[in-house]
């Protein structure tokens, strides 16, 4: 495992947008908070620029991200937003210098593509974290943004989630992987595909029809991704939609049904994902997941 150096006072965070368009205004308060935390900030050329849906052409987004990945003065890279576009450029990134000099890649949603490529191909941890839109005056002192600071600086990380009737009790230890469910299934069969044996899988999603969640969970099951987990964590599944003829199960029931024959712990309603409270998870490093009658807990195991 090639763990990037943790940040300290005076470290530099680069902000780029390798996917959907992000405005200068959406990034502005994030810069303010990061500087209050004692970090320097360097903006990429894809902040505030646009090319139809995207923050720039594929070539422009590749160049901006590549420049930051190779810049020795940048210690971590925070994505401006997700949306869509990372899978259009992932295969054109030159990873050689980054592998020799890794830094923390931070983001979620569409950034799931890059986070899982780092883990599955290069054994480099990353941060499934809030992006620039999460930084607001009303969230600046929130626990979930503090978790991002703690993850960047190497502080201990320990999270709790509430009890839920479909939780499955137990304890599991393994490398934490995953992210956005629709992106994880999109990666099956590609170089960025996740490998789940003996690992803890985290999934979340937003704005999907219930039947699509069922289909994506079946994709994971049929491809063997659910067979040998050490644990399953379900984050936010927000803004779920149903069809005119109801599917007949809640999103929690759909997921519980797909893993009913396994015996690893399953934890629902974990506070991470496309929701107001989005705690930072260190992907690619070992964690302990415990689920009991009081709910779930997740603890990072630092080497």
Name the residue range of residue 103's domain: 12-153
What pLDDT does residue 303 have? 85
Separation of first and last alpha carbons in the chain? 10
Do residues 167 and 285 both lie within one domain? yes
pLDDT tens for the chain, 303 residues long, are: 899 999 999 999 999 999 999 999 999 999 999 999 999 999 999 999 999 999 999 999 999 999 999 999 999 999 999 999 999 999 999 999 999 999 999 999 999 999 999 999 999 999 999 999 999 999 999 999 999 999 999 999 999 999 999 999 999 999 999 999 999 999 999 999 999 999 999 999 999 999 999 999 999 999 999 999 999 999 999 999 999 999 999 999 999 999 999 999 999 999 999 999 999 999 999 999 999 999 999 999 988
* Domain annotation covers residue 7: no
Do residues 20 and 57 both lie within one domain? yes
* Domain annotation covers residue 5: no
Residue 34, φ and ψ in degrees, nearest 5 = -60, -40
Do residues 163 and 288 both lie within one domain? yes
Structure tokens at 273: 């994902």
Do residues 139 and 195 both lie within one domain? no
Structure tokens at 261: 């024959």
Last residue of a domain, one of 138, 153, 168: 153
Do residues 199 and 288 both lie within one domain? yes
* Domain annotation covers residue 192: yes
226 neighbors 220 (Cβ within 8 angstroms): yes
What pLDDT does residue 275 have? 96
Last residue of a domain, one of 94, 127, 153: 153
What pLDDT does residue 35 have? 98
Domain count across the chain = 2
């Amino acid at each position: 495992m090639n763990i990037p150096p943790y940040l300290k006072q005076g470290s530099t965070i680069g902000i780029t947008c390798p996917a959907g368009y992000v405005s200068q205004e959406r990034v502005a308060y994030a810069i303010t908070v990061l500087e209050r935390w004692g970090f320097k900030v360097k903006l990429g050329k894809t902040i505030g620029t646009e090319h139809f849906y995207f923050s720039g052409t594929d070539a422009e987004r590749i160049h901006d991200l590549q420049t930051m990945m190779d810049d020795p003065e940048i210690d971590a890279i925070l994505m401006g937003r997700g949306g869509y576009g990372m899978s259009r450029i992932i295969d054109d990134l030159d990873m050689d210098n980054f592998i020799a000099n890794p830094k923390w890649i931070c983001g979620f949603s569409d950034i799931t593509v890059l986070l899982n490529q780092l883990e599955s191909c290069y054994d480099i941890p990353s941060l499934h974290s809030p992006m620039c839109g999460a930084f607001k005056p009303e969230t600046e002192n929130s626990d979930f943004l503090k978790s991002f600071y703690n993850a960047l600086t190497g502080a201990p990380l320990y999270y709790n989630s509430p009890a839920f009737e479909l939780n499955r009790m137990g304890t599991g230890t393994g490398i934490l992987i995953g992210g956005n469910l629709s992106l994880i299934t999109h990666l099956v069969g590609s170089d960025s595909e996740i490998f789940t044996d003996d690992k803890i899988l985290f999934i979340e999603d937003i704005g999907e029809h219930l039947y699509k969640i069922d289909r994506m969970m079946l994709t994971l099951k049929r491809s063997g991704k659910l067979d040998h987990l050490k644990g399953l964590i379900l984050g936010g599944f927000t803004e779920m939609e149903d069809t005119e003829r109801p599917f007949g199960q809640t999103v929690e029931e759909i997921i519980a049904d797909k893993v009913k024959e396994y015996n690893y712990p399953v934890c629902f309603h974990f506070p991470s994902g496309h929701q107001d409270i989005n705690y930072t998870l260190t992907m690619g490093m070992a964690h302990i997941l415990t689920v009991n009658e009081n709910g779930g807990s997740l603890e990072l195991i630092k080497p």
